[in-house]
Amino acid sequence: MMNLANPAAAFRWWRLPAHGVGLARMEFTIQHAIGVHPLALTRLDELDDEVREAVRERIEGYDEPGDFFVDHLASGLAKIAASQYPDPVVVRLSDFKTNEYAELLGGERFEPEEENPMLGFRGASRYYSDAYRDGFALECRAIRRVREEMGLDNVVVMIPFCRTTDEADRVLDALAENGLERGGHGLQVYLMCEVPSNVALTEDFAERVDGFSIGSNDLTQLTLGVDRDSERLAELFDERDEAVKRMIADHIRRAHEADTPVGICGQAPSDYPEFAAFLVREGIDSISLNPDSVLSVLRRVAEVEAATEGDG
What global pTM score does this model have?
0.94
- For residue 300, the model assigns a pLDDT of 80
- For residue 310, the model assigns a pLDDT of 66
207-245 b/e (C-beta count within 10 Å ≥ 16 → b):
ebbbbbbbbbbbbbbbbbebbbeeeeeeeebbbeeeebb
Homologous superfamily (CATH) for 2-311: Phosphoenolpyruvate-binding domains (3.20.20.60)
Q: What's the rounded Cα separation, in Å, for the pair 277 and 280? A: 5
Q: pLDDT in tens for each of the 312 residues of the chain?
A: 999 989 988 888 878 888 999 999 999 999 999 999 999 999 999 999 999 999 999 999 999 999 999 999 999 999 999 999 999 999 999 999 999 999 999 999 999 999 999 999 999 999 999 999 999 999 999 999 999 999 999 999 999 999 999 999 999 999 999 999 999 999 999 999 999 999 999 999 999 999 999 999 999 999 999 988 888 988 899 999 999 999 999 999 999 999 999 999 978 888 888 898 999 999 999 999 988 888 888 888 888 788 877 665
- For residue 60, the model assigns a pLDDT of 95
Q: Which residues does 222 contact at the CB level (< 8 Å), separation at least 6?
A: 194, 195, 196
Q: What is the pLDDT of residues 71-85, one digit of tens each?
A: 999 999 999 999 999
Helix (H) or strand (E) holding 218: helix 216-224
Do 244 and 224 touch, CB atoms closer than 8 A?
yes
Do 219 and 196 touch, CB atoms closer than 8 A?
yes
Max distance between CA atoms of the chain, in angstroms, equals: 70
Do 189 and 207 touch, CB atoms closer than 8 A?
no
Closest by alpha carbon to 22, among 195, 154, 170, 208?
Answer: 154
Check residue 105 and give left, alpha or beta (phi > 0: left; psi -120 to 50: alpha): beta
- For residue 13, the model assigns a pLDDT of 81
Q: What is the pLDDT of residues 208-223, one digit of tens each?
A: 999 999 999 999 999 9
Q: In terms of C-beta density within 10 A (0-12 exposed, 13-18 middle, 19 or more buried), how is residue 80 classed?
A: buried
Sheet with 155-159: strands ordered across: 2-4, 21-25, 89-92, 155-159, 189-193, 211-214, 262-264, 286-287
Helix (H) or strand (E) holding 212: strand 211-214
Closest by alpha carbon to 271, among 299, 296, 251, 249?
Answer: 296
- For residue 311, the model assigns a pLDDT of 65
Do 192 and 159 touch, CB atoms closer than 8 A?
yes
SS (H, E, C) 81-113: HHHHCCCCEEEECCCCCHHHHHCCECHHHCCCC
Do 197 and 168 touch, CB atoms closer than 8 A?
no
